Amino acid sequence: MSATTVAFISPDEPTSNGAASVAQSVTGRYNPRSFVSPDGVVYELVWMTPALAEELLYRNNNNRSMRPDASNKIERDMLAGWFAENGDAIRRDVQGNLIDGQHRLEARRASGTSGWMLVVSNLPETARNTIDDGAKRTMRDRFGFRGETDPGTLAAVVRRALLWERGLRSRSARYQPSALESFEFLDQHPQLREAAQAASHHRRAKLLAPSTIGLCWWLFAALDEGQCAEFFERLADGAMLAKGNPILTLRNRLMDLNSQPGRVHESHSAALTIKSWNAHREGREVALLRFSEQEKFPTPK
């Protein structure tokens, strides 16, 4: 397909593109913000309403299964007024079938909001084979674009902190924050940068996942920054800890769990760490640390 420069026409200006005046619009009406490429592909900027989004979703016959997590996070961005044009298109093939954009349209329908969206129609059926074929941008990439230090660790810590803030503590919790939610949350809680730095430093002990260290550091430091630093230093090196010390008990428990086959879930290790912290703060000795999914998730004190 040849490269085409697309220029949309202001609704107040007459069109000089003869093809645009006869291009079939998804709105069912003439759209002055449209352009037809030499290959017959129709590009148009459309004011996407919930009703129009629902209409386009009717032709979503041969797409990937809808993932509610994906549409829900876009819906939250739309309701917050964060969702903006970024050049991504809603794509339809020559038969009028939707081949890309189902989650954005579902979010538009469910949110009850309207906004400008680029719609590309009359694409050849083979176009589906090249959609999303490149490398997906991760939150690590996005934080890196903002110039953040150690963006991978920061992204993991911000996500865990957002889950905590939403009350999602168990291993069964499913919540995928959007990029805009993550940026907003970090702006509201800049202390998470320090937590991510601590996670990068203490991950070398190989006892806890960086995201778990970062989450707990963020929570503990808000209560007592000095005690928090001491807690993680002693957890890492095990120095000057007598039998029954809750930090030593946690250290031994994590070493035992990590030596077993399979991965220790982050919510489980976070619960053990919080239990140890609470006992440490209260000056209690602890001989055994356990956590059951049937228990109420502990809160740092």
| Residues 58 and 89 sit within 8 Å (Cβ to Cβ) | no
| pLDDT on residue 10 | 38
Q: How far is CA 14 from the centre of its chain?
A: 43
Rounded Cα–Cα distance for residues 215 and 156 (Å): 9
Q: Which residue has the higher pLDDT, 96 or 153?
A: 153
Cα dihedral across residues 261, 162, 213, 206: positive or negative: positive
Task: Please give the full DSSP string across 136-150, using - where no structure is assigned.
Answer: PPPHHHHHHHTT-SS
The percentage of the chain sitting over the pLDDT mark of 90, rounded to a whole number, equals 59
pLDDT digits (tens, 9 = 90+) for 181-220: 999 999 999 999 999 999 999 999 899 999 999 999 999 9
| pLDDT on residue 148 | 93
| Residues 181 and 73 sit within 8 Å (Cβ to Cβ) | yes
| pLDDT on residue 67 | 85
Q: What is the mean pLDDT of the chain?
A: 86
| Residues 44 and 119 sit within 8 Å (Cβ to Cβ) | yes
| pLDDT on residue 173 | 66
Rounded Cα–Cα distance for residues 98 and 77 (Å): 22
Buried b (16+ CB within 10 A) or exposed e, 229-262: eebbebbbeeeebeeebbbbbbbebbeebeeeee
Burial (Cβ within 10 Å: 0-12, 13-18, ≥19) of residue 75:
buried
Instruction: Provide the token pair at 55.
Output: 């209409």
| Residues 263 and 236 sit within 8 Å (Cβ to Cβ) | no
pLDDT confidence of 260, banded at 50, 70, 90?
confident
Q: Which residue has the higher pLDDT, 146 or 194?
A: 194
| Other Cβ atoms closer than 10 A to 114 | 15
Residue 57's φ and ψ, nearest 5 degrees, are -70, -20
pLDDT digits (tens, 9 = 90+) for 24-76: 788 888 888 888 888 889 999 999 999 999 999 988 877 777 888 888 989 99
**H helices within 28-67, ranges in order?**
50-57
Instruction: Provide the token pair at 291.
Output: 């956590």
The structure tokens 């996500």 sit at 159
Judge whether residue 19 has pLDDT over 80: no
H or E stretch including 215?
Answer: helix 210-221
Judge whether residue 23 has pLDDT over 70: no
Burial (Cβ within 10 Å: 0-12, 13-18, ≥19) of residue 218:
buried
